[in-house]
Chain A
Amino acid sequence: MTDVAEGFTPGVGKSRSDDNRRDHVPGDSSMWFFVIGDLLIFGVYFVGYMYFRGQNHELFLQSQVRLNLDIGAINTVMLLTSSLFVALGTEAARAGNRVAALQRFWIALAFGAAFPLLKMFEWIPEICSGLTPGTNLFFMYYYVMTGMHLCHVALGLVILCFILRNLKTSKAPQISFVETGATYWHMVDVLWLVLFALLYLMR
């Protein structure tokens, strides 16, 4: 998988300096501690969900139908696109191209902000039609997991704002800070990819 991407014609990020970047931990390593731990914590939730689903397939299947798969899918693409621009922005910051980095991070923020907005369009009709966390176990897992994820998204948006401020105001962009924030944001994306499959897609 990785070799396919590397074989393409080099774009903006591919320069000789990339070869020096083997064995590079992006950003602050304490953020990676947080990322891995968070992945594990959500992992327990995911496995718990699958376990309890196994005890009551009927209930989960019936409830799943009430979810809005369209918004779920659109939200997935929003986060993926936002992640793309964060990664592109990080590359630009590393190459010293402040203008491009700012542009890309602004776009990333816009796509990222679309996520909670769309979520409201998803949750509010559901709650109004009586589907609350107390309805059944599926919906409890649904609201708790997507709720926890939404809190992570909100924090991520705040971090992106700090990155934007750093890129705009400091003389030389702090690459480590940008990478640290980017790592967090991509983690939020990865979590959603799993959530999307578990809640909306699987049968």
Chain B
Amino acid sequence: MTSLIRNPLTIVWALLTTVTIVSSLIALEGGAAHQINTTVTTAVLLIAAIKAQLVIRHFMEVRRAPVWLKVTTSGWLLGLFTLLLSFYFASL
């Protein structure tokens, strides 16, 4: 059992779960709902990107994959979140 807890994958999971709760709290507490809030949005989107990267690199084992796969997945993540944040800020 302890070997499971000390498994790097479990550590990553604990990090992911904590960060999920944190970002949920940020959304709930960070200012009134019904209102645009750039801080909250930037924070939750960046956290989502980090979470996705963790899952891709550790759970999906891309960290041990050939370079082309690393570049493609990181590229997707980078491209997506750049576009998302750009569209968001451009519309304000």
Contact = CB atoms under 8 A, between A and B. Distances in A.
A77 to B, nearest CB: 6
B3 to A, nearest CB: 5
Contact of B20 (A2, A21, A73): A73
B35 to A, nearest CB: 7
Interface string B5-34: 111111111001100110110111011011
What does DSSP make chain A's interface, helix, strand, loop or mixed? helix
Contacts of B31: 203
Contacts of B52: 190, 193-194
A43 B81 CA distance: 9
Nearest to A195: B48
The B contact surface, by secondary structure, is helix
B76 A11 contact: no
Nearest to A84: B13
Contact of A201 (B6, B27, B61): B27
Contacts of A11: 3-10
Ordered nearest first, which 8 A-B pairs have the shortest CB separation? A54-B91, A11-B7, A197-B48, A203-B37, A201-B27, A201-B44, A84-B13, A50-B87
Interface of B: 3-13, 16-17, 20-21, 23-24, 26-28, 30-31, 33-37, 40-41, 44-45, 47-48, 50-61, 63-66, 69, 72-73, 76, 79-80, 83-84, 87-88, 90-92
Given A12-B7, A36-B76, A80-B55, 10 more contacts: A9-B6, A11-B6, A24-B65, A36-B72, A47-B83, A83-B59, A84-B12, A84-B59, A194-B52, A202-B27
